[in-house]
């Protein structure tokens, strides 16, 4: 089980890096084709945008994995340990609830877009929305992980990304 999760996370990280690299490459490609070969492509901007949608959702789950999302910690930091623990459990439950909504609605919208064509690419829009249920699954996983850690170890350590 644990090995399976580690493997899924590694795969997700790898996928995200590849998608990011392609997004970066596609923007560069567009510039080179336009100015060096005077032959712009129509689909590069659109592809970069969709890859960014994927990157955003995958990055969202990674930030949840590391518990580095931004929050206002002034009040929570001054609470006794028991209060903080309860708040943390509450947020995990709330994340779980939202992730389930995201999964259900994500599946519906993904299926609805099965035969919707992208504007300049010969793909179905399905591919863009597919990241929503995928990210929702990971969010559910992390919410469950955090809840069980609070039960087992007393609390979780939450930090904040520095933007």
Partner 1 sequence: MTSAMLLILGVWVVVLFLGPPIWLTMVLAGSVFVLTQHVDSIIIVQQEVSAANSFTFVAAPLFILMGHVMNNAGVTNRIFDFATAIVGWMRGGLCHANVIASMIFAGMSGSAVAEAGGLGTVEIRAMRDAKYPIDMAAGLTAAAATIGPIIPPSLPMVVYGAAAEVSVGKLFIAGVIPGVLMGLALMVLCSFMARKLGLPKGHFPTLPILWTKFREAFWALMTPVVLLAGMLSGIFTPTEAAAVATLYALILGLFVYRSFSIVRLPRLILDTIETTGVVMALVMAAKLLGWCLAISRIPQITGAALTTLSTNPIVYLLIVNVLLLFVGCFMEGIAAMLILIPILVPVAMKLGIDPVHFGLVFVLNLMIGTVTPPVGVVLYVVSNIAKISFERISRAIVPFLIPLLVVLAAITLWPPLTTWLPTLLIGR
- Contact set with partner 1 (CB under 8 A): 13, 16-17, 20-21, 23-24, 27-28, 30-31, 35, 45, 48-50, 52-53, 55-63, 66, 68-77, 87, 90-91, 94-95, 97-98, 101-102, 105-106, 108-109, 112, 128-129, 132, 160-163
Q: At 60, list the tokens.
A: 């969202």
Residue 144 and residue 57: Cα distance in Å, rounded?
19
Q: Which residues contact 41 (CB under 8 A, 6 or more apart)?
A: 29, 30, 33
Q: Which two tokens stand for residue 52?
A: 């960014």
Output DSSP code: residue 117: B
Asked if 20 contacts 56 with a C-beta cutoff of 8 angstroms, the reply is no
Beta-carbon neighbour count of residue 14 at 10 Å?
10
User: Closer to partner 1 at the Cβ: 1 or 91?
Assistant: 91
If the CB atoms of residues 5 and 94 are measured against partner 1, the closer one turns out to be 94
84: which 2 tokens? 């903080």
Of residues 1 and 75, the one with the C-beta less far from partner 1: 75
**Comparison of 1 and 78: residue with beta carbon closer to partner 1:** 78
Shortest CB 151 distance to partner 1, Å: 19
Phi then psi for 150, rounded to 5 degrees?
-65, -40
For the bound state, the minimum distance from the C-beta of residue 124 to partner 1, rounded and expressed in Å, comes to 15
Taking the least distance from each CB to partner 1, the nearer of 42 and 68 is 68
CA angle 116, 119, 121 (to 5 degrees): 95
């Amino acid at each position: 089980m644990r090995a399976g999760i580690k493997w899924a996370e590694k795969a997700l990280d790898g996928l995200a890096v590849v998608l990011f690299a392609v997004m970066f490459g596609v923007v560069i490609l567009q510039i080179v084709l336009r100015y060096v070969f005077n032959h712009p492509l129509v689909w590069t901007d659109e592809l970069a945008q969709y890859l960014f949608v994927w990157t955003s959702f995958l990055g969202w789950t990674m930030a949840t994995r590391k518990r580095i999302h931004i929050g206002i910690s002034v009040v929570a930091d001054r609470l006794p340990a028991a209060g903080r623990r309860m708040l943390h459990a509450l947020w995990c439950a709330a994340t779980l609830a939202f992730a389930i909504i995201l999964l259900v609605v994500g599946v519906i919208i993904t299926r609805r877009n099965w035969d919707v064509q992208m504007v300049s690419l010969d793909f179905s829009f399905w591919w863009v929305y597919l990241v929503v249920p995928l990210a929702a699954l990971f969010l559910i996983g992390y919410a469950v992980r955090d809840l069980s850690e609070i039960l087992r170890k007393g609390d979780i350590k939450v930090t904040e990304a520095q933007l």
